[in-house]
Structure formats: structure tokens, C-alpha cells
Structure 1
Amino acid sequence: MNNNEQDHDHEKESGSCEHGHDNTSLPRNALVIISGLALGVGMLVNNPQAKDIFFAVSSISGGLLVIPAAWSAITKRRLDMNVLMTVAVTGAWLIGEGNEAAAVVFLFALSELLESWSVGRARRAIASLLKLAPETALVRDADGDYEEVPVSEVTVGSEISIRSGARIPLDGKVSSGNSSVNQAPITGESIPVEKAAGDPVFAGTINGEGSLVVEVTKGASDSKLARIIKLVEEAESQKAPTQRFVDKFASIYTPVVFVVAILVAILPPLLSGAVWSEWTYRALVLLVIACPCALVIATPVSIVSGLTALARNGVLIKGGAYLEAVGKLRALAVDKTGTITQGKPQVSEVITMTWLAEEEILRRAASIDAHSTHPLAKAVVDTAKKQEIEWQTSSDYKSITGRGATAKIDGHPYFIGNHKLAHEYGVCSPEVESKLAEVEARGESVAIVGHLPHNSNSCPGEILGIIGIGDSLRSEAKEALRLLHDAGIQKVVMLSGDNQRTVDAIAKKAGIDEALGDLMPEQKIEHLRRLMDEHRFVGMIGDGVNDAPALALASVGIAMGAIGSDTAIETADMALMQDDLTKVAQAIILGRRTLRIIQFNVTFALAVKAVFLILAFTGHTSLWLAILADTGATLLVILNALRLLRH
């Protein structure tokens, strides 16, 4: 989020539309209205002197929105659109075309107003999020009573009361009470989420029928809502590649056209004796037509509208560059656990391979796995707890990345891990292989518990038991993958450290094109690079932490379920605020639609320019018609971009 390539000053130097109206104390709307009314009255009256007066009033009113910005550009030795308009209006008055001068300045000011309104409308859709969180909270005091306190003054650790139907003012953890909470403002999810003691709640969400007491875990400025608003604002300030190209193009194009206009004004009269006033007029028309307002506004309004539409739906994208990249995605790499599956594995069976009872297999497995935070290790420990199995603390614990772990129990070395680890220790047998094949064929992961080889002459090591651990497919996974293919994704590849049989079984259930298992983290990177060589634009979906290298390498890194992890929001380029894969397809569809709208807007704006430039050279257009065409093009470009807000 910190790759903001252009600061505000640099944006101005790029030649984009600048709002000179900020330099006047009069309201911009009033100036535009006065300019328009004076122009209209000037066209209606018959008295030539009255006409000139009204046209002058119109020019001055509109000029107050243009001339200060033009002067600012000149002092910085730049030529921008405000300079073009100022020269054109001044020239029109000098050759006696006051009516056209007034029309030009009014329509240009109106165009600027429309641009400001369009961007403002898109930004207001996000700014409205600020109003979601209440300004006060009911805080429990030392006497146990509740008093209303501004949220900015509520400290972390305080307890607040959330009444039925009220908005939650701060992030926190439920201390007591049960209720359902509508989290749509944060996640875009329409179904309320049940909350009980220990569950997290977020500022801006809406409490249902029950009453909750919540312990505050984050201050007002650090809440999930505040973070989302900040990230979206930062994203909207970043320029997309198309916008950077257009800005660079405009910065070169504008002064070139200025030089061409001067040549048009002086060369024909000097070389062929043409009428000075006629060719000066054509040069002024050329300057007006050259104003690339519609071209410059084409991309930013589209990007802001697209980012806003997705943010409303619980999808955060960290800037225009990533929104464009999402629209170009042709392939996806996905993690298995927590992405395609629920990420909540449970022990399905315990198979003993020796005289030891199943309870003893679980006891030794839990003794080792108690040191680990891996989902499979947690599943083993949780099962042991549920069965009220007591285990002793193991020593000399050592994690083996991508394989499992070892530790000592009662001074004897044991291991728990995957099929690959058992092979490395040379303790596999045909009987074990047969049992492993049965478990893996069901799409379950295996945790093999064994006695490590040591004192080679006395203990060659052996497998004690096999624990089958299942992780069910996400309910929306099949539908999400269908939508992804419908959205134009050509290939979805699952990259997993789990065994190949399990990965194949899960892929078959979900409808994934290719599944690769038994991968170490560095192997995931290798396969992702291969995929990028084949398809160029490739997205990676993971949890934002364990898959950080792959997320960073991909064209777009996508984090699942970011509502529960600040790290996920910071790590990925795109964050899904809830665990819903269908949101990825929605984002890709909107990204593609945004790209199409940007491409149409830029092409349309350039086509209008080309047509009127030809008409200017042939003398078949006028100042007011030229600016009317530019204003019309700007309006159409804006309205086309704002359609994205309805996505």
C-alpha cells in the first residue's frame, strides 16, 4: 500500500485537469451558474452593448475557475489545459468573438465541475463508511454502571454494552451474551453471524436481537473499519498503468498542440497571405479541441468507481494497478487448507500398526504436536483433549518443514509426519503403504506416528500408527471454480504440501484443473513461476501469512478471510473480508469490466479529439462547438465510468 508513485504536485505536473476553482473564495457551483445564466441572457438580448456586458460577466465568472490555475501553471513553466482555455478565451475576445469566449469558458468550467462531482460521488460511497460506527459507546465504569463516552476516549480493555439493534462502536471480543451480528458493512456478507462469549466483533457492524457485553480490543483509530477506510483511500490515490500512460501522454501532447496552434495562426498568413483573423480563429479552435479533459478523466473515475464497488462488497484491492491486473488474470494458483477446504481438519480415524492401543497412539502424537500451531497438529491435540487423554510434555522438539516433527518422550525419539518423512526414515512397509493408500484415497491427510531409528543395532525404528485427518471442502468451492472459469480463468492449479493422493481427491471434488502435492514452499514458487510463464497474469490465493512468498510473486496476491487478520490485509494485493471464494470471480469480472470501460473511454475521447482536430484545420467547426463536444465527451466518459458503482 505504500507504493504511491505520484504525489499531488506531480499529478498536477502531468497535465491532468486541475481545479482552479479551489483558488477562489466564491462557491464553484455559484460561479458556474452565474456564467451559464449570463451566457444564456447574452444570447437572448438584442442590444449589442448588453450582449457584450452579459458575455463579459459570463467570461469573468467562469474565468475565476480557470485563470488562477493557468497562472499557477505558467509560474511553474508548464502548459496545461487551463492555459489553453485562458489563451483561447482571451484570443476570442481580441478578435471580437465575445459570445464564443463566454461559451468556451462556461462549458469548460462546467466540465471541471462534472469531473469533480463524479470523483466526489465515488469517494462519498466510501466516506459513508465513516458514518457506520457510532460516535459514542456505553462504557462500564468502576461502579458497574454504564455511561455514554465518545469512542475516541474509550481505552482498550474497557467493557461496553451493545444493545439490541445497535451498531457496534469499536472492535472487541464478546465478554457475555449471545446475538447475531450483521457484518455486511465490513464483509459484504448478507447473512448475520452468530456471536457468543470469546467471539470477535467489529466496529460498524449491527447487533441483532440479543444484548452483548464487549471487551474493547482496539481503539477507534485502529479498528478494522478505520483500517479499511484508510486502505481504500490510499488505493484510490495510486495510479493505474493506463492512468500513468495518459498523464504522461497529456504532459507531452498539450505543449505540442500549443506550438501547432501558434504555427496554424501565423504560417498561412505569412506564407500565402491568408486572412489573419480567420487563421487565428482556427488556431483558437484547435487549442480548445486540444484540451484532453475527457481523456485524462477517463481512467481515474473508472478506477475509483471499481475500487469503491468492490469495497462495498467486502473485497479490498490496493490500488488501480492491481485492479487492472485482476482484470487481466488468466490463471490462478490456490492453496488447499483454508482456501479450497474449510481449514478446520478433524481426526477421522486412528489406525494402530502395532500392539499399542489407539489411545496410546493419540497420546504420543499429542505429546509431540502440542508444540506446533499447524492445523493438522491442532486437530490431533484437540481430539486428544476431547477424549480426555493426558500426555506428558515431550523434549527436544524439532519441526521439519513440509514433513512433520520429532521429539523425545521418556528419553526415546519419536516422530509424527507425512508419508515422505516415513520414507526418509526407512520405516515404511507394504502393509503401511496399503493402509496409507486407503486413507489418502478418501482425500484425507495422514499423520504417521513412529519410533525413530536409533542405536542402529538395537532399534531400527517402526511405525506405531496412522492418524487419518479430514478437512471438508468449502460449501461454495465448486460454484466458485465454475464462476472463475466463466469469468475467463483458463486454468486453476492447487499447490499443496499435502500428499498427492489427498490433493488429487480434493481437486476432483472441487473441479480444479491441476493439483500438485508434496510441495515444499520453494517448490510452490517454482510452479507459480512456470504458471506465470504460460499465462503471464496469474493470481495466488492463500491466507496472507504462510503463503507470503507466493502471494508476493504472483501478479495479484489474494488473501482469504482478511476480516480476522490484519497481517493478511497488509500482505496481499487483494483481500477478501470473508471466506468466500465466489468473491474472487466477482472481482475478476469487475476488473475486466473496468478495463473495458477504461479502454472504451480512452478510445472514445481520442476519437472525438481526432474528428474535431480535422474539422478545425478545415474550418468546419467553431469555438463553442469544439468545447461543447469536449464537455459532452467528458460527461459521457464520466457516466460510463460511474456505471461500475452499480456492480
Structure 2
Amino acid sequence: MGKACCSTDDLKTDLTSGKSDLALPTEAVESTFKVSGMDCADEIAAIQSSLKIEQVFRVEAKLMSSTVQVWYSPDLDENEIRRLINKSGVKVVDPNKSSKAISRQRVALVAASGILVCSAIVIGFLTKEQSLVSMALCSISIICGGFLVFPKGLRAIRHGHLDMNVLMTVAVAGAVYLGDYTEAAMVVFLFAFSELLEAFSVVRARKAIQDVINVSPKVALLKTVNGELINVAVDAVKVGDTVVVRAGDLFPTDGNVISGKTEVNQAPLTGESTPVKKKEGDGVYAGTVNLSGSVEVQVTKILSDSKVSQIIRMVEEAQKSKAPSQRFVDQFAKIYTPAVFVLGLLICFVPPLFFGGRWEDWIYKALVLLVIACPCALVISTPVSIVSGLTAMARRGVLVKGGIFLETLGRLKALAVDKTGTITEGVPQVLVMKKWNDLPEREIVKIAASIEKLSNHPLAQAVVRYAEKSGVSVVGVEQSQTEQGRGIFATVEGHEYFLGNHRFTHELGVCSSDLEKYLQSLEEQAMSVVVVGHKPHDDCVGEVLGVFGIGDKIREEAKAAIQDIHKAGCETVVMLSGDNNRTVSAISKQVGIDKVFGELLPEGKVTKIKELVSEYKYVGMVGDGVNDAPALAQASIGIAMGAIGTDAAIETADVALMKDDLRQLSVAIVQGRRTLGIIRFNIGFALALKALFLILALLGYSSMWMAIAADTGATLIVILNALRLLKIQN
């Protein structure tokens, strides 16, 4: 378990709600404990209650990683924290030792309880009465099953909580008081069995997550300065070191290939197992698999800073945030359970005291009501659904930062996409270069490339590459001034020039009728135009020197991806671009985009997103996570494409598509809708079953064992339904 000091930038989390409020003290110490026996919300509540002392500032119990993170005063010993956690009913275990997912003792106790109560029922059926033997068998069954229930119930009562274990303890005690040992034993067994099923489901979901995040290699083959190869722990590898990765091995760190060539399976990061060819100069990532040749890699990032470590942190953080449906269920359960308990007390006492009812009848009805009140199926349904959905998406290379964003994906009505790098490949090239005066073409290219050398915009880089390919050398720029969304003014070799888009030529008053026709013809062919010329100044009216027609190839999968997004239930797909309207309109028609808005400055994109949110409410924005940051922030959900190439994309977006493929988005939307649908069904089913048995109990048609059997069945159904989300539907 780790221990570290926290800065004042950290936030304190409320022990029960997980919400941020006050800053942690600067001296706060953090420790993480691996625990066993934490399988549902009751255990989490018990841990939080046990640690609710003045010296503990913050507690985060993570169900799916089975860990408890505690921030506390340095005056408090770590062993005391461990003792308090153990006191809650779970057990702190050694994080380095493998432990059984479900203890054999627990399985044995549940099995013994079930066998004993079934034996008692058979004996009772054969003898037609409750014999001493059947009573003894039921009593032992109650003890076996109750060993897993009663201590938790007593701890909850001591901490002032009214949880499921308390309800079951009272119900069983009441049944024993009424002399119905068989029913008491059946209730204990079915509840313990239900809890065991729930634990198995959490273990399965937990294992699925571990399969995603346990892709980090443990050792690296380090090449020393004298050429020796030695095995070292990955943590010991430093930036600048050279590691050798043989065929079949995992890449231990992020780095660049400096010798050899190979094919790499990047499925752990992108979800796509099609091998990617790598040669000298290409980047490779920790956790991916070297399929063929042996290569030497120069380390560019230590493991903790690598792409795979970012993903692991993101998957773990995603489990912390509660989706709206989960917050609803948590709040509902807090009110529902005490309310039904009070109702049970009223049913127990009011009819016998005021209406002459038989005590035995109304006590029994009250006990049935307590059993019905058990919110197992309701409480477990949402977190297992959310975690299953998030895990399945991570397997496919789609990183969703939490349940709230997964639900938002499922509600998307409109999607805004950037053009460059999203619909197009993002590597434009000069397709046409036309002189517009008597200056030699090489001179025009030199001026344009010298100015564009200052910019990292894809269109600017296309002009620079064209100059390099033409063998034209660039010169220094004496001064420059960028006009955002339009172009740039620059002084080259003592002359003032402008370089920019179609709109810029109109603003400068240098667009003639002939030039207008020519630019329109290029734009109708889906080309972007870059115009270079003399800047109008003083007595100079300005003059166009040349025109570059730049094309960006449309992605092969773009049209199919847009069709799939529509099929997934997204009503409208909109393109937002800074490029001219004719170009973006031509591209949008080719790929089937519904609406298009060109010539937009960054603030213009934000305005359009606001309009879309006003009209559709749930709107996604696909961008690169950096340049489109304002628009991404304004949308209901920001989505970054090709995040395997940029660290910033993972940090800034709500959803990161690791593979540079828009088709992943339709899969994410479908998964979001499936998750929402399954959550709604689970909640509705659990509540409907509760309502049905509540009515049956009040009418006298339900027994305790029937109610707990129904709850056990409901728990099993909602869990299995939620686990369906681990399998992605294409």
C-alpha cells in the first residue's frame, strides 16, 4: 500500500456522497489498502462509518478495484487505519499476494445452510409436522447462513445504519419468535445465497477491468552502454535508455524505434488487432505486442508517464464518478429502506392495538414487508451496468471518463464534427499551384513557404512540404501578424505580403471577378485555397501573386461512419470548420453530413455548439482535444479522435477514441444506449417487483421465503442483464 503527502490542491471528499467540499490539510497522508469482502454498497457504507473519525479527512472505497484510499492526519498510525477497516467487516489483505476471489468458507457456509434447510423441508413434508429433527436442522442452517449476515447487521446498528443486513436480522428473529424455523432458515439461506451471487458478479466485473488495466509489462531488456543485455524492472528504465524488444514481447515503455522493423499489435490501446508496421523513427507504446522482428527502442517516457499508464488511471478514475441513474438509486435507497421499516412497525402495532387484529398475523405481515424492503437488486443494478459498459468500451479502445459520460453518449441527439483530421485524413497536400502575375513560380512558392513556415496549421504545412518537394528554399521572415481565422501579414526581404483564405482576399479588396471564379472552381472540387500576394498599404492597392489549391483526402471510412452514427440514433450530424463554405459543403455531401457551417473562428464554433445544445439538448463535439477545446467544453460531451497520438486529447476530452477511426464513435453511442436501456430496465424491474410483493404482503398472499426468493431472483436477473454489457454489439 502506498503512502504519500497530499497538496492543498487536492479536494476533500464527503464520506458518504463522494462530493468535493473542503481542501485537504497540507500535512494529510494518503494510504491505499487492498481489501477482501467488499462486494456491495453496504460494505462501503460500513467502511466509511468505521473511518468517520476526526483524524480521517477523506475516504474513497472503490468497489471494482477492491481498494480503500484514505487521507488522514500524520498523528494517526497506518495500523490504526487498518484496524478500523477490519472492524467494518471487510479484511485488509496483502496487495502483492493473490487471494481467492470468493472465500471457500463463505461458499461452504451458504451451501451448508441450503442443504440443511432443504433437508428440514423434506423431513417436514414426510412427517407432515415440524419435528425436533427439522427444527434442529433449521436452527443449524440459520447459524450457518446467519454467520454471514447477523454480525454485519449488528455492526450497522452500532453505527446507526439501517441496511439490508439489519432488515434480514430482524426478519429472521421475528420468524424464530413466531416459531416458524423453516421460514427463518429459508430467508437466511436465500439472502446469503443472493449476496454470494452478487459477490460473484462483482468479481467477474472486477476481473474484466483488471484484464484491461493489467497490460503493463513488468520487466525490460535493457541495452547497456557496452552493449550487454540485462533484464531490469520496468520502473528502473529511464528516458534516453535503449531497450531491446524481441518478437512476442510487450513493449515495456513508450519510445521510438532506432533499429529494426516489425509489426505491432496495438489492441491493448486501440482495440484494433490489425498489426501496425513500425520502422526506424516510428513511435511505439508500452503494453503493445511486438509480433515479428526484434527492435531496439529509445525510451521517451518512463512507464508511469506512458500512454498505457494514462489509460489505466483514466479507467480507474472513471469508476469513481457516479452516473445520474446511480445517484438516483443511492438517494432512493436511503429514503426507501427506512420508510419501509417504519411502515413495517406501523403494520405490526397499529392493527392489533387499535383494530383488534391478531398479533401473530400482523407481526408476520410486517416481517414479510421487511424482507421485501431489501434493496439488493436495486442497489447493485446500476454500478455493475456502468462498470461493465465502461470496461467493454476500454477493451475496444474507447476511453469514457465516467458513467455520466456513458449515459450522455446514450442520449446524444446531435453530433458536431471538425473537418480536418476527423472527416478528412488531416494531411492535406498542394494539388494545384497557379501564378497570378509575372513573378516566377519559384519566387511565389518561396514567399508563401517562408510565411507558412511560421505556422503548424495543416494547410500551412502542405505549402511548406510543396516547397521542399519543389526544391525551393525558404528565407527568414522579418515580422508577422496573424489574423485569426483569415490569414497572416508578413514582411519578407523588405516587402509586405499577405497570405490567407478566400474570405481574406475580399476583406483586403484584392479579389477580382476572374480570381473569384477561379477560387470558386477550386472550392467546388472540395479544395481549400491559400492566396498569397502583396499587402495593400500606403499607396499600394495590393496584388495577388499566386493561388494554392490544397486538397485533404476524405477518410475511406468517413461515409460509412456517418451512416452508422445516424443508425445509432443520432438525429443530426453537423460539420463545423474554419474552411470556406464551398469546400466544406462539397465534402459534407460526399459523406452524408446533414448540416455544414464553414468559415468559423473558434468563437464561432462555440456559438454554433450553444445553438445545437439549445435545440437538441444532448450534443457531442468531435475534435482534436486541443485546438477545439472551447467547443469541446461547450458541448454536452467532448470526443477526441486518435488519442493514441496525443496526451492532451486524453486529458481534455470526456471520451477518447484511441484509434484514428470515426467508426468507433457509433459503437460508443450504441453501447451508451444499451447501458441506459439496461439500467432503466433493471431499476424498473426491481421497483415493480417490490411493489407487487408489497401489495401481496398487505393482502396476506406472500410469505417471507417467497419475498426473499423473488428478491434473490431479481438480483440474479439484473446482474446477468448488466454483465451482458461486457460484450460489445457492433
TM-score band, normalised by shorter chain: over 0.9
- Which segments of 5 or more consecutive residues in structure 2 lack a partner in the other structure? 1-8, 20-39, 47-85, 92-102, 125-129
Contact 1:17 1:293 in 2 (8 A): no
Indicate the SS of the match to 1:339. helix
Instruction: Give the CA deviation at 1:246.
Output: 1.1
Structure 1 length-normalised TM: 0.95
Q: 569, 574, 587: which is aligned to 2:650?
A: 569
Q: 579, 598, 601: which is aligned to 1:498?
A: 579
Q: 668, 676, 684: which is aligned to 1:587?
A: 668
Contact 2:418 2:623 in 1 (8 A): yes
Q: Find the counterpart in structure 1 of residue 691 from structure 2.
A: 610
Q: What amino acid sits opposite 1:108 in the alignment?
A: F
Q: What amino acid sits opposite 1:471 in the alignment?
A: D
Q: Distance in 1 between matches of 2:427 and 2:569?
A: 30
- Which segments of 5 or more consecutive residues in structure 1 lack a partner in the other structure? none
Q: 624, 627, 632: which is aligned to 1:546?
A: 627
Q: Find the counterpart in structure 2 of residue 520 from structure 1.
A: 601
Instruction: Give the CA deviation at 1:5.
Output: 11
The superposition leaves residues 109-138 of structure 1 with CA deviations (integer Å, 9 ceiling, x where unpaired) of 222222222122122112113443331110
Name the stretch that deviates more: 81-90 or 56-65: 56-65
Instruction: Give the CA deviation at 1:196.
Output: 1.1
Instruction: Give the CA deviation at 1:16.
Output: 4.4
The superposition leaves residues 316-339 of structure 1 with CA deviations (integer Å, 9 ceiling, x where unpaired) of 111111111100101111100000
Instruction: Give the CA deviation at 1:4.
Output: 11
Instruction: Give the CA deviation at 1:221.
Output: 2.1
Indicate the SS of the match to 1:408. strand
Alignment partner of 1:621 is 2:669 = no
Q: 417, 441, 462: which is aligned to 2:543?
A: 462
Q: 1:376-391 maps to which residues of 2 (within 5 A)?
A: 376-391=459-474
Contact 2:43 2:90 in 1 (8 A): no
The superposition leaves residues 210-251 of structure 1 with CA deviations (integer Å, 9 ceiling, x where unpaired) of 221111122222221222122112112221101111111110
Q: Distance in 2 between matches of 1:86 and 1:59?
A: 11
Instruction: Give the CA deviation at 1:487.
Output: 1.1
Q: Distance in 2 between matches of 1:386 and 1:238?
A: 51
Instruction: Give the CA deviation at 1:24.
Output: 6.1
Q: 136, 150, 158: which is aligned to 1:67?
A: 150
Contact 1:346 1:469 in 2 (8 A): yes
Indicate the SS of the match to 1:474. coil
Q: 389, 408, 420: which is aligned to 1:306?
A: 389
Alignment partner of 1:480 is 2:561 = yes
Give the share of equivalent positions with the same residue, in percent: 54
Indicate the SS of the match to 2:183. helix
Q: Distance in 1 between matches of 2:369 and 2:524?
A: 73
Instruction: Give the CA deviation at 1:3.
Output: 12
Q: 32, 35, 45: which is aligned to 2:110?
A: 32
Q: Distance in 1 between matches of 2:146 and 2:455?
A: 70
Instruction: Give the CA deviation at 1:180.
Output: 1.1
Q: 532, 536, 545: which is aligned to 2:617?
A: 536
The superposition leaves residues 74-93 of structure 1 with CA deviations (integer Å, 9 ceiling, x where unpaired) of 33323222211111112112
Alignment partner of 1:203 is 2:289 = no
Indicate the SS of the match to 1:156. coil
The superposition leaves residues 151-194 of structure 1 with CA deviations (integer Å, 9 ceiling, x where unpaired) of 12111211111112222122211111111111111101121111
Q: What amino acid sits opposite 1:494 in the alignment?
A: M
Instruction: Give the CA deviation at 1:17.
Output: 4.3
Q: Find the counterpart in structure 2 of residue 642 from structure 1.
A: 723
Q: 1:1-16 maps to which residues of 2 (within 5 A)?
A: 9-10=16-17, 16=41
Indicate the SS of the match to 1:337. helix
Q: 172, 175, 185: which is aligned to 1:102?
A: 185
* Cα distance, 1:131–1:536 mapped onto 2, change above 3 Å: closer
Q: Distance in 2 between matches of 1:642 and 1:635?
A: 11
Q: Distance in 2 between matches of 1:210 and 1:406?
A: 50
Q: Find the counterpart in structure 2 of residue 116 from structure 1.
A: 199
Instruction: Give the CA deviation at 1:258.
Output: 0.5
Contact 1:16 1:293 in 2 (8 A): no
Contact 1:6 1:239 in 2 (8 A): no
Name the stretch that deviates more: 257-266 or 523-532: 523-532
Instruction: Give the CA deviation at 1:45.
Output: 4.7
Q: Find the counterpart in structure 2 of residue 445 from structure 1.
A: 528
Q: Distance in 1 between matches of 2:292 and 2:184?
A: 64
Name the stretch that deviates more: 327-336 or 199-208: 199-208
Contact 1:16 1:250 in 2 (8 A): no
Aligned residues: 642
Name the stretch that deviates more: 490-499 or 195-204: 195-204
Indicate the SS of the match to 1:338. helix
Q: Distance in 2 between matches of 1:3 and 1:241?
A: 24
Indicate the SS of the match to 1:132. coil
The superposition leaves residues 556-595 of structure 1 with CA deviations (integer Å, 9 ceiling, x where unpaired) of 1110001111110111111100111111111111111111
Instruction: Give the CA deviation at 1:466.
Output: 0.6
Q: What amino acid sits opposite 1:230 in the alignment?
A: R
Q: 1:319-330 maps to which residues of 2 (within 5 A)?
A: 319-330=402-413
Q: Distance in 2 between matches of 1:413 and 1:490?
A: 48
Q: Distance in 1 between matches of 2:18 and 2:186?
A: 28
Q: What amino acid sits opposite 2:138 in the alignment?
A: F
* Cα distance, 1:206–1:303 mapped onto 2, change above 3 Å: same
Name the stretch that deviates more: 94-103 or 542-551: 94-103
Q: Find the counterpart in structure 1 of residue 63 from structure 2.
A: none
Name the stretch that deviates more: 55-64 or 150-159: 55-64
Q: 394, 411, 416: which is aligned to 1:333?
A: 416
